[in-house]
């Protein structure tokens, strides 16, 4: 079975599972900070200064909207990356857990078929 490892394409390469979990935690922390920044920007947009003239107020509004769009893209990127890492981690864990059992079941099945074929030939 060790020879089978050369055919097995591990999604994380040489990176350990703990490193992947820490990467997922880093992404989650980044998302929290980005969301906090997003909502602070939203509050700044809503609480805009009333004593500014129209041009400055519009410039500030455009700045905050662009900043929020950028933050939203970053949040989506981090969430998608974290989700993909989590799915790959779960898939790898399931493969490691079930592959030996499935292989033994297949071997048993083929051995029974071989024995049946040998019995038919006799």
What pLDDT band is residue 7 in, cutting at 50, 70 and 90? very low
What pLDDT band is residue 122 in, cutting at 50, 70 and 90? low
Residue 105 host element (H or E)? helix 54-121
pTM exceeds 0.75, yes or no: no
Count: domains in the chain: 1
What pLDDT band is residue 6 in, cutting at 50, 70 and 90? very low
Domain that holds residue 71: 2-121
Mean pLDDT over residues 53-78, rounded?
90
Other C-beta atoms closer than 10 Å to the C-beta of 51 total 6
Angle (deg, nearest 10), helices 54-121 and 17-46:
150
CA angle 111, 118, 103 (to 5 degrees): 10
**Distance in angstroms (rounded) separating the CA atoms of residues 106 and 60:** 66
């Amino acid at each position: 079975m060790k020879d089978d490892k050369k055919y097995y394409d591990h999604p994380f390469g040489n990176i350990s599972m703990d490193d992947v979990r820490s990467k997922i935690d880093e992404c989650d922390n980044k998302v929290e900070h980005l969301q906090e920044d997003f909502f602070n920007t939203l509050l700044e947009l809503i609480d805009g200064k009333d004593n500014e003239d129209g041009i400055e107020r519009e410039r500030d509004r455009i700045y905050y909207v662009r900043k929020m769009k950028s933050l939203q893209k970053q949040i989506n990127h981090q969430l998608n990356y974290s989700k993909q890492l989590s799915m790959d981690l779960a898939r790898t864990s399931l493969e490691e857990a079930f592959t030996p059992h499935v292989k033994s079941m297949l071997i048993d099945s083929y051995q029974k078929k071989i024995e049946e074929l040998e019995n038919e030939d006799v």
